[in-house]
Structure 1
């Protein structure tokens, strides 16, 4: 059974523009992040990144996870191990 989903991107009909309003900004970030994380795109991008760039992405993600997500949310929503 699949644990991970990208359902939003399948149904999104918004304009995908940043800077108009909070709702559009959130939708645009969700759109970008789901497109960004597609396997085929990652297989193309990752080998082109330097070790420092990989580390910066990893650190950026972890910084925001630690700042805004509880330990329980991290396990249940991000890792899906509970």
Structure 2
């Protein structure tokens, strides 16, 4: 399925915001865009972006979700107390 950037629209409804964010993140995750943007960002911009993004991940994902959804690990993650 092709991701259609023309379907992005924020600020009308929460459902549309969520759907638009999914498309936005899919577009942002493309390899060519990531390489181009990373090459043009300063170290400070990179650190600020990563810090902000990681804050969102910590707020909205469990540790297990972080490992499976973000890190794409296929095996269960074990915490030190297990």
TM norm structure 2: 0.78
8 Å contact kept, 2:9–2:16: yes
TM norm structure 1: 0.78
Counterpart check, 1:31 vs 2:17:
no
Equivalent residue, structure 2, for 1:62: 54
Specify whether residues 23 and 47 from structure 1 end up closer, same or farther in structure 2 by C-alpha distance, changes over 3 A only. Answer: same
RMSD of aligned residue pairs (Cα, Å):
1.9
Alignment of 1:1-82 (within 5 A): 10=2, 15-81=7-73, 82=75
- Mind listing any 5+ residue stretches in structure 2 that lack a counterpart? 76-82
Structure 1 stretches of 4+ with a deviation exceeding 2 A read 10-15
- Mind listing any 5+ residue stretches in structure 1 that lack a counterpart? 1-6
